[in-house]
Structure 1
Amino acid sequence: MAGQIVSAVGIMIAGVFACAAYYWLSDRLLNMALPVRGRDIVTASRNLNRRSVIRPWLFLGPALLLLAIYLVYPVIATLILSFYDRAGTTFVGLDNYRWALFDREFRQSIFNNVLWLAVVPAACTFLGLVIAVLTDRIWWGNIAKSIVFMPMAISFVGASVIWKFIYEYRGTGTQIGLLNAVVTFFGGDPQVWIALPFWNNFALMVILIWIQTGFAMVILSAALRGIPEETIEAAVIDGANGWQIFWKIMVPQIWGTIAVVWTTITILVLKVFDIVLTMTNGQWDTMVLANLMFDWMFRGGGDSGRAAVIALVIMAAVTPIMVWNIRQANRENGGH
């Protein structure tokens, strides 16, 4: 273990020095290639302008190269792979796309993803906003925020295990699952909650809502603190009550931040995988696109063509939301 730590630290230090050496050396070579000293004014001015144009691209070059290798190339490779058979050797044209259109499990996954999109971002944003407003009005608000934010520190798998114990079902004997224990205490019958068709999707959504509400709360709380006090005071003087101040004064002024939080969680929901894998493994009609892609790619011998089609569907759903989110965030920060 000690050797691994030393090796990791050494690699990090070497990486920092390698980056610094690259920037220094590339800048030195650029200055040598486009000298200014000993040149007439016109040539010196032209070389300075060329340096200012080339230098940013020179410094960004390694990052752009890595992005091309790890982002652009996989997208192109996946697109090409979607036109080939399960082994990726025989061209099959649009057969994989036709399969996706008529496959029941694929359609069920689309429906489940839409259901997650309709519930989770709205619930997280609403609860985060309500908690942010309420905790700003009590003296122990920071403690409450810390408690609400704590699930963000837990991995999706860890959170799923916790909630699996809450939903636990025992056919006979004492129910050790918290939810079934409460149900039986009040005289009800215990249920296999994660196996109930349709409703089990909501049981899984609760886990992500529990995790992401803290994120929404922190961002929206910061936005609320940015609202000028004069605006609130003017509304109070005009006779507005707390509900009117919240909906007509606060919400409109932080609407941009609400939209960013909403879309950020939406992107996360489109890629949800860990929770479904840990809780149900996609059984009982809980399959979502990411899990379906994993199943087709790595189970039952694998089918890289169909898995590639599902991956492209996920990318097509995420990309426009991500682009809009970045533009909205830039607008919020005063960018263009």
Structure 2
Amino acid sequence: MTGQIISALLTVVLGVSGCVAYFWGANRLLDLIFPSHGVQGSAAIDNLRRQGLIRPWLFLGPALIILTIYLVYPVIETARLSFMDRGGQNFVGTANYQWAIGDREFRQAIFNNFLWLAVVPAACTFFGLVIAVLTDRIWWGNIAKMFIFMPLAISFVGASVIWKFIYEYRGVGQTQIGVLNAIVQSFGGDPQVWISIPFWNNFFLMVILIWIQTGFAMVILSAALRGIPDETIEAATIDGANGFQIFWKIMVPQIWGTIAVVWTTITILVLKVFDIVLTMTNGQWNSQVLANLMFDWMFRGGGDFGRGAAIAIVIMLAVIPIMIWNIRNATRETGGH
């Protein structure tokens, strides 16, 4: 443990020092190549103009290089592999996509992803908005927000392990240590293997992501609610509007853009959901999703690069329209700046 901490601290120190050294050295080199001091007349103005054109790229350059290596190139390579055979050597055309359309497990994963899309973003946004409104009205609201936000600091795998103890099932005659089964037994019911119940197990897994992401929605929406002018609320109260009318007809319309951003952000996350399913069920009992199916085909059973890449491209194509809509909506909200 001590060695890991030292290694992490050393990495941070070296990384920060390297960045500082790069930007200082790059700016120093730029000043030497195009000096603005000691140069007279139009030459100094030309050098300043050249510095102004080049300097932004000194900051953007490393990020663009990293994005190209770790984002652009993998996308191109994945698209290429999706038209190749199992080993990624021979061209097979659209055979992998034809397989996907006809595969029962792929269709099940598509169906499950649609279920996640229909439930999780809506639930997170709704609970986040309601909690944001309620906690702004009580003196201990910030304490409540802290506890609701805390799950966001937990990894998906860590959260899944926590919820495994909630859904845990022990055999007949054994003491049930799972919280949910203990509650069911206390009301005279029979314990169940909750995560193995087809169709409904998807909702038990969704609860984990809702538990994690509600804090994110709450924080963003709470900040948006604080931006609503008090005069608007006071005028509505004077006109006789009740609490629900103020919430639904005054607050929600004024923060609709923020609600849409939260909704689409969580939607993109849901399309890529992987860790929770892998940890809880590994796609068994009809709980498979696209990302976990891609992982299975790409890295398990000897690996099938072609089919795994085809599933990855399907996920990417599903995410792109939502990202474009989100960016356009954000641009419109900021007036194009």
- The TM-score range, normalised by the shorter chain, is over 0.9
Alignment of 1:2-13 (within 5 A): 2=2, 5-13=5-13
What is the aligned partner in structure 1 of residue 19 from structure 2?
19
What is the aligned partner in structure 1 of residue 198 from structure 2?
197
1:77 to 1:199, Cα distance in 2 relative to 1, 3 A:
same
Instruction: For 1:139 and 1:47, locate their aligned partners in 2 and report how far apart those are by CA, in whole Å.
Output: 59
What is the aligned partner in structure 1 of residue 85 from structure 2?
85
Instruction: For 2:71 and 2:201, locate their aligned partners in 1 and report how far apart those are by CA, in whole Å.
Output: 35
Conserved? CA contact 1:257–1:332, under 8 Å: no
TM-score by length of 1: 0.93
1:145 to 1:59, Cα distance in 2 relative to 1, 3 A:
closer
TM-score by length of 2: 0.92
Deviations 1:41-88 (A, max 9, x none): 344333322221121113321221111111111111111111111111
- How far has the Cα of 1:323 moved from its partner? 3.5
What is the aligned partner in structure 1 of residue 284 from structure 2?
283
Instruction: For 1:268 and 1:332, locate their aligned partners in 2 and report how far apart those are by CA, in whole Å.
Output: 22
Corresponding residue SS for 1:200: helix
Instruction: For 1:270 and 1:260, locate their aligned partners in 2 and report how far apart those are by CA, in whole Å.
Output: 15
Instruction: For 2:125 and 2:199, locate their aligned partners in 1 and report how far apart those are by CA, in whole Å.
Output: 23
1:88 to 1:334, Cα distance in 2 relative to 1, 3 A:
same
- Are residues 1:95 and 2:91 paired? no
Instruction: For 1:256 and 1:122, locate their aligned partners in 2 and report how far apart those are by CA, in whole Å.
Output: 15
> In terms of mean alpha carbon deviation, does 114-123 or 13-22 score higher?
13-22
> In terms of mean alpha carbon deviation, does 15-24 or 91-100 score higher?
15-24
> In terms of mean alpha carbon deviation, does 195-204 or 314-323 score higher?
314-323
- Are residues 1:305 and 2:302 paired? no
Instruction: For 2:267 and 2:186, locate their aligned partners in 1 and report how far apart those are by CA, in whole Å.
Output: 37
1:27 to 1:144, Cα distance in 2 relative to 1, 3 A:
closer
> In terms of mean alpha carbon deviation, does 140-149 or 68-77 score higher?
140-149
Conserved? CA contact 1:276–1:287, under 8 Å: yes
5+ unaligned residues in a row in structure 2: which ranges?
Answer: none
1:179 to 1:82, Cα distance in 2 relative to 1, 3 A:
same
RMSD over aligned CA atoms reads 2.0
Instruction: For 1:150 and 1:35, locate their aligned partners in 2 and report how far apart those are by CA, in whole Å.
Output: 52
Conserved? CA contact 1:129–1:221, under 8 Å: yes
1:62 to 1:244, Cα distance in 2 relative to 1, 3 A:
same
What is the aligned partner in structure 2 of residue 114 from structure 1?
114
Aligned residues: 336
Corresponding residue SS for 1:246: helix
Instruction: For 1:19 and 1:279, locate their aligned partners in 2 and report how far apart those are by CA, in whole Å.
Output: 40
Q: Aligned AA for 1:304? A: F
Q: Aligned AA for 2:143? A: I
Deviations 1:3-37 (A, max 9, x none): 55445444433333332332233223333333445
5+ unaligned residues in a row in structure 1: which ranges?
Answer: none
What is the aligned partner in structure 1 of residue 262 from structure 2?
261
Instruction: For 2:135 and 2:120, locate their aligned partners in 1 and report how far apart those are by CA, in whole Å.
Output: 22
Conserved? CA contact 1:81–1:308, under 8 Å: yes
- How far has the Cα of 1:197 moved from its partner? 1.5
What is the aligned partner in structure 1 of residue 245 from structure 2?
244
Q: Aligned AA for 1:263? A: T
What is the aligned partner in structure 2 of residue 186 from structure 1?
187
1:17 to 1:204, Cα distance in 2 relative to 1, 3 A:
closer
1:67 to 1:2, Cα distance in 2 relative to 1, 3 A:
same
Instruction: For 2:316 and 2:122, locate their aligned partners in 1 and report how far apart those are by CA, in whole Å.
Output: 22
Instruction: For 1:203 and 1:10, locate their aligned partners in 2 and report how far apart those are by CA, in whole Å.
Output: 41
Q: Aligned AA for 1:117? A: L
What is the aligned partner in structure 2 of residue 163 from structure 1?
163
- How far has the Cα of 1:219 moved from its partner? 1.3
What is the aligned partner in structure 1 of residue 46 from structure 2?
46
1:177 to 1:22, Cα distance in 2 relative to 1, 3 A:
closer
> In terms of mean alpha carbon deviation, does 4-13 or 299-308 score higher?
4-13
- How far has the Cα of 1:207 moved from its partner? 1.0
> In terms of mean alpha carbon deviation, does 185-194 or 256-265 score higher?
185-194
1:2 to 1:240, Cα distance in 2 relative to 1, 3 A:
closer
Corresponding residue SS for 1:227: coil
Runs of 4 or more off by more than 6 Å in structure 1? none
1:195 to 1:330, Cα distance in 2 relative to 1, 3 A:
same
What is the aligned partner in structure 1 of residue 272 from structure 2?
271
What is the aligned partner in structure 1 of residue 293 from structure 2?
292
Instruction: For 2:28 and 2:277, locate their aligned partners in 1 and report how far apart those are by CA, in whole Å.
Output: 53
Q: Aligned AA for 2:205? A: L
